[in-house]
Amino acid sequence: MGNRYLPMTEADKEEMLAVIGVKSTEALFSDIPKSIRFKRDFHLEETLSEHELKRKMSQLANKNLNLTECNSFLGAGVYEHFIPSVVNHIISRSEFYTAYTPYQPEISQGELQAIFEFQTMIAELTGMDVANSSLYDGGTALGEAVNVSHGHTKLSKILLSKTVHPEYREVVYTYAKGFNLEIVEIDHVNGIIDQKQLESELDENTASVVLQYPNFFGQIEPLEEINHLIKTNSKAIFIASCNPLALSYLTPPGEFGADIVVGDTQVFGIAGQFGGPHCGYFATTKQLMRKVPGRLVGQTHDENGVRGFVLTLQAREQHIRREKATSNICSNQALYALASSVAMVALGKYGLREMAYQNIQKAYYLMEQLKKNGFIIPYSNNFFNEFVVKLDRPIEEINALLLKSNIIGGYDLEKVDTSLKGHMLLAVTELKTKDEMDIFVKELRDIHDQ
């Protein structure tokens, strides 16, 4: 009774070999040269029964910290937000949980409609004309956007702000390598893009300018000014990587003239869970609609006038002529796009705005308490739910001390920029209480006074 599922027996193996006309497993692989075959042992542990394995895995899992036990102020791309209970109820249903690409619309109307609703809400949040059915995560969505800018303009220079998430920037470099794109990183001044350097780098070879809104330091970039710079000095495409929750309160980038808006919907209905999986989105204008990567679900009517949904405008090489393809993305995150859709619907338009408002108010409360206790806030007060605090000890050392009090500190910015030694990026969401924030400030004060 050690196995939940019956393993394959020797009799099963013999029967299968007989059907295909092979006498032994060795004969089955006879075409593979012996010189390249694996001849060593795998050095695996002894097989455990199901009960023993579950107990061992539980013991290992219990060594992990979790947010029900710890007071966390760590964000930097993965956030702890309220997830309505209905989200897991819906995405756990077998018709959604086991669904794959809905190539056959006649049997996939539920899945297609769910994706269509996701696209609609993303388009509304970003202020753009159209959004795709999702991508793997925010980083790959940004990489795809850069490639689209090259494919559309036939230019090769990408101006990438250093205020964009460092991991997203790494993905952009990876994507750009295949097209031999020139990446020029633009420095920041007081936590936002250096507009003078940006203006000096803009030229007739610039394919796109890439910003984050709010940016990696939590600051809100002046998109209107930047859009004016771009459109005045070049034909470049304006790409904004955005936190969609922030867009439920802040002016969407579409209203500032952005051409492509990308990001990650982890903030809607997707738990942190070790940093993934996530769900990326890609929104753009009608002008660029036919170059959208991934999939796009369209609404139509059948011969009886009944509303229906179908896949349309797929821009990868599997579906159109290779030389016209702008992407080789082969899938989307349908299940987590559904999770984000359910979360947005459950919270509603005003609920999302209230959630974003609480993020702002609570982040400002923590910032003010830190300032009252003598801590330095190096950048402006123009932020969403993340900000930087400057401390006089290594952040790695401070975080180790905070952990002893069951507090997960902020992100150590020295990891991505040595000039930011002693700078911590703090995240505050609607789930943070006043008591939790006050305890954090007290612990930080005590560490500082040691």
The pLDDT, as a whole number, for residue 318 is 55
Cα–Cα distance measured from residue 311 to residue 116, given in angstroms and rounded to the nearest whole number: 10
| pLDDT > 80? residue 383 | yes
Domain positions in the chain are 10-61, 71-82+348-449, 86-343
The pLDDT, as a whole number, for residue 2 is 54
Looking at the DSSP assignment, which residues form a beta bridge with residue 336?
none
Average model confidence (pLDDT) for the chain? Answer: 92
The pLDDT, as a whole number, for residue 302 is 86
Asked if residue 271 lies in contact with residue 431, where contact means CB atoms within 8 angstroms, the answer is: no
Sign of CA dihedral 289, 287, 216, 338: negative
Looking at the DSSP assignment, which residues form a beta bridge with residue 219?
383
The pLDDT, as a whole number, for residue 359 is 98
The pLDDT, as a whole number, for residue 4 is 67
The pLDDT tens digits of the residues spanning 150-187 come to 999 999 999 999 999 999 999 999 999 989 999 999 99
Q: How confident is the model at residue 98 (pLDDT cuts 50, 70, 90)?
A: confident
Q: What is the mean pLDDT of residues 303-311?
A: 90
The pLDDT, as a whole number, for residue 81 is 97
Kindly state the tokens that stand for 211. 């910003």
Q: What is the CATH number of domain 86-343?
A: 3.40.640.10
The pLDDT tens digits of the residues spanning 185-226 come to 999 999 999 999 999 999 999 999 999 999 999 999 999 999
Q: What is the CATH number of domain 71-82+348-449?
A: 3.90.1150.10
Kindly state the tokens that stand for 26. 């060795």
Q: Among 190-194, 263-267, 298-302, whose mean pLDDT is lowest?
A: 298-302
Q: How confident is the model at residue 315 (pLDDT cuts 50, 70, 90)?
A: low
The pLDDT, as a whole number, for residue 330 is 62
